[in-house]
Amino acid sequence: MLDFLHYGFMQRALLSSVIVGTTCSCIGVFVVLRGMAFAGSGLAHAAFGGVALGFLLAVNPLFAAVLFCLGTAGLIQAATRRAQLRMDAAIGIFFAFAMALGVLFIGLMKRYDARVYGYLFGNVLGVTPGNLVMMAVLALVVIGTILLFYRPLKFLTFDEDMAEASGLPTVALAALLLGLLALTVVVSLKTVGIILVEALLVTPAATAYQLTHKYGMMFVLSWIVGVLSCVTGLVVSYVLGIPSGAAIVIVATLLFALAALLSPKRRKCKVCGHESSA
């Protein structure tokens, strides 16, 4: 049954699935609780510009995507603060701009390179040892930063105005969160691709949200759902010979549907009797 684990590419695929499942599910808690789903989608699309630039300049596309995503996150934050735009408008402007640059870079290439489009839907079986190292380093940065700023990010997410009034640097923390989201998108590009990464940023955390009233427990459940989705999706894709990114997202969505159906939040809160519609 586990014969496929003898293959090096499958071992790397499994490791990358765990890395992606862990990183996306942790940052996903903030994405769900702070309503940042569009930011995740926008940064994922912005990554396309970076990947295309990487191929155009013949540098590591993931490295180029890191710079592109962080740059886009910085522009979104700056436009939100300085131009006093709503964040969704700023995201709309800059993710389209980054996509347009991606199309331009592809047009500037001397010959057609189909590998660019491989990043749209991901290919977990094509993860190289180099990709894996880069993914692991970025994932460590993301998870380490979340742990380091766990309390301030919790306060920011619960009540931004009060967090600021209490003396926390909320502007810097919000920018940090956007930067971490950008890095997470890059971590996931090779595995699920630009189009489908949004699902992993939202669905595991949204599933956990159905199941708990506790903030810390939401991270734990989100992590379990994220890793379970990625690993199960990988195995299913191998066994059935279907695209891995799609299989991962379908598994995650089925888990969400199950959690939504069985959610204890649909019942009366045992402690205070509050009826919830979550």
In the numeric block, which tokens belong to residue 57? 């300049």
* β-strand partners of 268: 275
Q: Closest distance between other proteins and the C-beta of residue 136, in Å?
A: 23
Residue with tokens 């886009």: 72
Is 220 an interacting residue with respect to other proteins (CB under 8 A)?
no
- Based on CB atoms, which residue is closest to other proteins, 3 or 275? 275
Q: Please select the residue that binds other proteins; options are 114, 240, 261, 271, rule is CB under 8 A.
A: 271
Among 96, 103, 137, 217, binds other proteins (CB under 8 A): 217
Only one of the segments 40-48, 89-97, 166-174, 233-241 lies at the binding site for other proteins (rule: CB under 8 A); that segment is 166-174
Residue written as token pair 């993914």: 135
225 with 204: CB under 8 angstroms?
Answer: yes
**Is 37 a residue that touches other proteins (CB under 8 A)?**
no
Cβ nearer to other proteins, comparing 111 with 151: 151
Give the residue with the Cβ less far from other proteins, 115 or 266: 266
Our finding on whether 85 is near other proteins (CB under 8 A) is: no
Q: Does 33 bind other proteins (CB under 8 A)?
A: yes
Single residue of 215, 258, 262, 266 touching other proteins by CB under 8 A: 215
DSSP 6: G
Let me know: does 99 contact 48? Beta carbons within 8 Å.
Answer: yes
Among 149, 224, 231, 263, binds other proteins (CB under 8 A): 149
The tokens of 177 are what? 């969160």
Q: Which residues contact 208 (CB under 8 A, 6 or more apart)?
A: 25, 29, 217, 218, 219, 220, 221, 222, 225, 259
Minimum Å distance from CB 275 to other proteins?
A: 9
In 3D space, the residue among 42, 37, 63 whose CA is nearest the CA of residue 138 turns out to be: 63
Query: Exposed, middle or buried: residue 108 (CB in 10 Å: 0-12, 13-18, 19+)?
Result: exposed
Footprint of other proteins (CB under 8 A): 33, 148-152, 154-155, 158-159, 161-168, 209, 212-215, 217-218, 265, 269, 271-272, 274, 276, 278
